[in-house]
Amino acid sequence: MTTQNAINWPEKYQPGTRDNFVSNEVIVQGLTAAQVWRYLVDTSTWESYYDNVADISFPQGDGPGLKTDTLFSFGTFGFPPLDAYVVEFQDPAQDVPGRLSWTAKQDGTPEEQLDVLHAWLVEDLSGGRVRILTQETQIGRPAAALAEERPNPMLNGHQAWLDGLVRAASGKATR
């Protein structure tokens, strides 16, 4: 039996302890972690396969590739651009999953404040398969409102991101 890896969660963002949490996962045959990783860490490709992201920018001139300590901003789920910071970055390698996590924040009034940790894990599995796991914890009133919506926009939005990422890595037409 193969043991699958898990997201590394800082205590502040532990799933189930905050206002909103979603988890999405796909396991696909015929792709490698390296193929998927390329499209995940290169933000210049995101809008080609995921329609819930816009206005990606790098205020310190980094990018479009993500790496540890990268500052960037992007709009998603109808929020104004969120200020994001890469807190974990590990390229995938043999027997080592790719790990990417960023915090994203929106300041303002208590009704507007949002604090997020969005984490990704991309790992090769036996049988020529790849596992892509994305999880997000959100803190704030906007997060609590999203958690109450049905259908759940976060769950559906992240599934669209996973599906688009798989299509892009497979070389299939996007959006």
Instruction: List, for residues 86-134, the tens digit of each pLDDT value.
Output: 999 999 999 999 999 999 999 989 999 999 999 999 999 999 999 999 9
The CA distance from 20 to 162, in Å, is: 19
Is 175 part of any domain? Answer: no
- pTM for the whole structure: 0.95
> Taking residues 28-43, what's their average pLDDT?
97
The CA distance from 36 to 40, in Å, is: 6
pLDDT tens-place string over residues 38-82: 999 999 999 999 999 999 999 999 999 999 999 999 999 888 899
- Find the domain containing 146 and state its range: 19-170
pLDDT at 2 over 80: no
Per the structure, the count of domains in the chain is 1
pLDDT at 34 over 70: yes
Is 12 part of any domain? Answer: no
For residue 151, whether the previous peptide bond is cis, meaning omega lies within 30 degrees of 0, is yes
> What is the token pair recorded at 174?
């996007």
**pLDDT score for 16:** 93
